[in-house]
Structure formats: structure tokens, C-alpha cells
């Protein structure tokens, strides 16, 4: 039995930073990442057998809890028939039919293998469809690591973006305009000045990559309106929010419909899956129907499709969502009460099955600059106290938390008890 410390040292010999995705390295919070051996329901277990109540849930997919027996069985059954064929299967039709039946305005859908592929392809399609190059994104929203999307705000409002990573050509960032989330006036001004050249807006309908920031009333509606007026395509990136707010995602929850929607995470039930889809007229531009190219060796992989279908079966059952919503709210209320009792300045956001906590004096948090002004040091100490107490939170203060149907009242109570002790110790 190796400790996480030993494994991390071994991992760093041949894996950059010891991890295959940066946030796993605990760089933000310090210390050694926990190496996980297995998972069940609301829990992950490390290599030394320690159990953690998990609010990361593989960064969102495990809405029905880890290692759900029905998903596992579906995967094993498909594995017995073969892992990948590179040819069409009936499973792909079944999943596409299900998604198009459920999601508002989804006429056609294309499967890919990650959220990054989904958003990258949706952007290309929006550009190909409109014949325009500029895209609009919002500061603090993350849409995967493709070049056009790894762009941060330039200096001053309404400037075009600058690369947020070496290796992203400045010329490409020039085509990405970065605006402030929840700022309707800024949005309208950008479209008044540049609307004719904007191919699309891409946005997280509830931001989950700058902690958890729900849209303020009117923000999503304003996005719809400026797109309708300018001819730009509205891409709602529901890679994280898809199926986390009810079957119709954030679009059903907030009543705003996208032209294109990107999905991932939950539709794969833990297997690598993404998807993009939407209005027929736009989707018909994609190859082989149209000229916009997009492809994938493992796209629509049968094992992943089987996991996705089993997941949709589970979450489509009557009464699936209300208890998860209630427990998410109860968790936030419990955390708030615990912080108040300890006199720690703290506030929470929650929506559907996503939540976030902020170490701040502010009453509410609704954009990136406010998130960045929170007390990161305090979060880091809180994170390690919770980890020691067996609660696994995202290892960075700018990530949303997730709940699942496997989290019980007892798990929520145990989490709040751990938080009460942690706040008191801060």
C-alpha cells in the first residue's frame, strides 16, 4: 500500500507535474494530491483506505454518485461486445435521440470525446455558419483548452483578448473579445460597436469555473436578444451544467434557448464524452452534410454511449432531482450558519446541484473580479482542514462544488460538522 506522498513522487518522474490535468496537482492549495483507488456513491477512497465525502465528483459527471451499479453493468455488458469499431452503432442513435428529445432546440447532435472538443467544434461551426471571425466570451468562464478560448480580457472594457497561455498566437486571441460576466450594459455596448463582426457568444449559463456564479436576472435573456439582433450564434456551454439543473440543463431551468449547446461530463456518466448540437440549419453545415470539418476516431464510442444511456435512464426517473436540489441548499445553509457562528466572513452561492463558498465580506458574488478578491489563503487552510476530516472539496477556491443523488442527509450533516470545526480553527 503506497501513500499519496510516495505515489506523487513516482508520478512526477514521467508525468509533467505528476498529473494529467493541472488542477489535480494541488498547486493552488499546496500539499500533496490525494491518490484515489476506488469510489462508491458519495465517496472516494484513497490508496490508504481513507474515505472522503466527495464534492468534486470527477469534476461534475457523477450526478448519480460514483460507480453506480446500473452504469457499471451497462459498461461491462458493452465491453463484452467490443470496445470501439470506428463505424456507426445503434447505441449512438439511441443517445442522440434521447438528447434531442430532452434538450430544447436540439435538432441534431454530434458526439465527441471531451468538452474541449465540443466547444472548439461549436466555435468553428458558428464561424463557418456566419462567415464571421470574432467570438465573445466572458472573463472567468472556462470552455476547455482550445486556442481561441484560452484568452483573457485585454486591458479596459471592450478590448480584444490577450492569450492566457504561451503558445496561443496573439493573432488568434485578437478574434476573441472578453467581456464581464453578468454585465448587461457592457454586453450591449460591445454588440452596438462590433455586432456585425461577431460570430458567436459562448458562455457558461451558470459559471462553474470561477467558483459558482449563477446568472443575474436578465443576463441570459440579454445574451439571447443581442444574438437575435446581430445574427450571432448563441452557444450555451452546458458541459458542466447539462443535466445538473434538471433534464433540460440550465436552459430549461432559466428558460433561455441556445442556438448551439455543448455537453459533456454527465452525458458520459464518467466515460470520456462530449457533444455539440442545436438548430438544424446550423448543424447541417457540419461535415459530411456541410463544409465545416470535424471528426474523431473514438467519437460515439460504444462503451461511452452505453454509460451515457444508463446515466440518462437513472436521472430521468421521477423524483430524481428535488432531493438533490434540497440537499445542495441544505449544505450551503449549513456552511453559512457554521461560518456565521465562528465569525468568519463567508458567503455561498448555489443553483441546482452546483454550489460554491466564498471567504469574503461581500454580501453577494456575481463576477470574476469579485471572486478574485476573496481570501484565498483562508480557503486553502479550510480546504486542508476539511480534507483531514474526510471531506474532499475542489482543490482551488475558483471551482464550483457538485452534489449527487448519492449524498445523503447524513453526509450533508457530517460535512457541516466538519466545516463547523474547520471554521472555528481558522
DSSP state of 57: G
> What is the separation of C-alpha 315 from the centre of its chain, rounded to a whole number of angstroms?
18
Per-residue contact track with ligand PMP, 262 to 301, x per CB under 6 A? --x---------x---------------------------
Q: Closest distance between ligand PMP and the C-beta of residue 340, in Å?
A: 30
Site membership for ligand PMP, residue 346 (CB under 6 A): no
Per-residue contact track with ligand PMP, 201 to 220, x per CB under 6 A? ---x---xx-----------
Q: Closest distance between ligand PMP and the C-beta of residue 207, in Å?
A: 8
Asked if 389 contacts 374 with a C-beta cutoff of 8 angstroms, the reply is no
Candidates 43, 55, 265, 279; catalytic one: 265
Give DSSP secondary structure letters for 181-231. Answer: TT-HHHHHHHHHHHGGGEEEEEE-SSB-SSB-BPPPTTHHHHHHHHHHHHT
| Contacts to ligand PMP from residues 223-262, by CB under 6 A | 237, 239-240
Q: Closest distance between ligand PMP and the C-beta of residue 420, in Å?
A: 30
Beta-strand pair 151-152/162-163:
antiparallel
Residue with smaller CB distance to ligand PMP, 22 or 343: 22
Binding-site member from 39, 78, 116, 405 for ligand PMP (CB under 6 A): 116
Q: How many Å apart are CA 258 and CA 235, to the nearest integer? A: 6
Spatial neighbors of 171 by CB under 8 A, at least 6 apart, are none
Q: Closest distance between ligand PMP and the C-beta of residue 114, in Å?
A: 4
Q: Report the chain's C-alpha Rg in angstroms.
A: 21
Binding-site member from 18, 115, 140, 195 for ligand PMP (CB under 6 A): 115
User: Terminal CA-to-CA distance of the chain, rounded, Å?
Assistant: 33
Q: How many helices (H) and strands (E) does the chain have?
A: 14, 16
| Contacts to ligand PMP from residues 75-114, by CB under 6 A | 114
Residue nearest to ligand PMP (CB): 115
Candidates 142, 253, 254, 321; catalytic one: 142
Q: Closest distance between ligand PMP and the C-beta of residue 116, in Å?
A: 3
Site membership for ligand PMP, residue 65 (CB under 6 A): no
Q: Closest distance between ligand PMP and the C-beta of residue 267, in Å?
A: 11
DSSP state of 248: T
Candidates 46, 54, 183, 237; catalytic one: 237
Q: How many Å apart are CA 310 and CA 78, to the nearest integer? A: 12
Asked if 399 contacts 211 with a C-beta cutoff of 8 angstroms, the reply is yes
- Nearest alpha-carbon partner for 272 in 151, 144, 155: 144
Site membership for ligand PMP, residue 353 (CB under 6 A): no
> What is the separation of C-alpha 57 from the centre of its chain, rounded to a whole number of angstroms?
11
Q: Closest distance between ligand PMP and the C-beta of residue 262, in Å?
A: 7
Judged on CB neighbours under 10 Å (0-12, 13-18, 19+), 104 is middle
Catalytic site includes residue 129: no
Cell of 367: 463576477
Residue with smaller CB distance to ligand PMP, 119 or 180: 119
Residue with smaller CB distance to ligand PMP, 16 or 82: 16
DSSP state of 133: -
Spatial neighbors of 195 by CB under 8 A, at least 6 apart, are 226, 229, 230, 232
Q: Closest distance between ligand PMP and the C-beta of residue 146, in Å?
A: 9
Residue with smaller CB distance to ligand PMP, 331 or 396: 396
Residue with smaller CB distance to ligand PMP, 17 or 345: 17
Catalytic site includes residue 50: no
Catalytic site includes residue 142: yes
- Nearest alpha-carbon partner for 302 in 98, 111, 115, 82: 82
**Judged by CB under 6 A, how many residues of this single chain contact ligand PMP?**
16
**Helices 409-425 & 321-342 angle (0-180, nearest 10):** 20
Residue with smaller CB distance to ligand PMP, 23 or 44: 23
Site membership for ligand PMP, residue 46 (CB under 6 A): no
> What is the separation of C-alpha 17 from the centre of its chain, rounded to a whole number of angstroms?
23
- Nearest alpha-carbon partner for 398 in 424, 381, 422, 373: 373
Residue with smaller CB distance to ligand PMP, 92 or 204: 204
Binding-site member from 18, 41, 144, 249 for ligand PMP (CB under 6 A): 144
Give the number of other Cβ atoms within 10 Å of residue 88's Cβ.
9
Instruction: Give catalytic residue positions.
Output: 142, 237, 265
Q: Which residues of this chain interact with ligand PMP, rule CB under 6 A?
A: 59, 114-116, 119, 142-144, 204, 208-209, 237, 239-240, 264, 274
Amino acid at each position: 500500500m503506497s501513500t499519496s506522498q510516495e505515489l506523487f513522487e513516482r508520478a512526477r518522474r514521467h508525468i509533467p507535474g505528476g498529473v494529467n490535468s493541472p488542477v489535480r496537482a494541488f498547486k493552488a492549495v499546496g500539499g500533496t494530491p490525494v491518490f484515489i483507488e476506488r469510489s462508491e456513491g458519495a465517496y472516494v477512497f484513497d490508496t490508504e483506505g481513507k474515505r472522503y465525502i466527495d464534492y468534486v465528483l470527477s469534476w461534475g459527471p457523477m450526478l448519480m454518485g460514483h460507480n453506480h451499479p446500473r452504469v457499471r453493468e451497462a459498461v461491462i455488458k458493452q465491453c463484452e461486445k467490443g470496445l470501439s469499431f470506428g463505424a456507426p452503432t445503434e447505441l449512438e442513435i439511441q443517445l442522440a435521440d434521447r438528447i434531442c428529445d430532452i434538450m430544447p432546440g436540439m435538432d441534431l447532435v454530434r458526439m465527441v470525446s471531451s468538452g474541449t472538443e465540443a466547444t472548439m467544434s461549436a466555435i468553428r461551426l458558428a464561424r463557418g455558419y456566419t462567415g464571421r471571425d470574432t467570438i465573445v466570451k466572458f472573463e472567468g468562464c472556462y470552455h476547455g483548452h482550445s486556442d481561441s478560448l484560452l484568452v483573457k480580457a485585454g486591458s479596459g472594457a471592450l478590448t480584444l483578448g490577450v492569450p492566457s497561455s504561451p503558445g496561443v498566437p496573439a493573432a488568434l486571441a485578437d478574434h476573441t473579445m472578453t467581456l464581464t460576466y453578468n454585465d448587461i450594459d457592457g454586453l450591449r455596448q460591445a454588440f452596438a460597436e462590433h455586432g456585425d463582426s461577431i460570430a458567436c457568444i459562448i458562455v457558461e449559463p451558470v459559471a462553474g469555473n470561477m467558483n459558482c456564479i449563477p446568472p443575474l436576472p436578465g443576463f441570459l435573456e440579454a445574451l439571447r436578444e443581442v444574438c437575435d439582433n446581430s445574427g450571432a450564434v448563441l452557444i450555451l456551454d452546458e458541459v458542466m451544467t447539462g443535466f445538473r439543473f434538471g433534464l433540460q440543463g440550465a436552459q430549461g431551468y432559466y428558460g433561455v434557448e441556445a442556438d448551439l449547446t455543448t455537453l459533456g461530463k454527465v452525458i458520459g456518466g464518467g466515460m470520456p464524452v462530449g457533444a455539440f448540437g442545436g438548430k438544424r440549419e446550423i448543424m447541417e453545415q457540419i461535415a459530411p452534410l456541410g463544409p465545416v470539418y470535424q471528426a474523431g476516431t473514438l467519437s460515439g464510442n460504444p462503451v461511452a454511449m452505453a454509460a451515457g444511456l444508463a446515466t440518462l435512464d437513472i436521472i430521468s426517473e421521477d423524483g430524481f432531482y428535488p432531493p438533490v436540489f434540497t440537499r445542495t441548499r441544505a449544505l450551503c445553509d449549513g456552511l453559512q450558519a457554521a461560518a456565521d457562528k465562528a465569525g468568519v466572513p463567508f458567503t455561498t452561492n448555489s443553483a441546482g446541484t452546483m454550489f460554491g463558498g466564498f471567504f469574503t465580506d461581500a454580501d453577494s458574488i456575481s463576477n470574476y473580479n469579485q471572486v478574485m478578491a476573496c481570501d484565498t489563503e483562508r480557503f486553502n487552510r479550510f480546504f486542508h482542514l476539511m480534507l483531514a476530516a474526510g471531506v474532499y472539496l475542489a482543490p482551488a477556491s475558483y471551482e464550483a462544488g457538485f452534489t449527487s443523488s448519492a449524498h445523503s442527509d447524513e453526509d450533508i450533516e457530517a460535512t457541516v460538522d466538519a466545516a463547523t470545526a474547520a471554521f472555528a480553527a481558522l
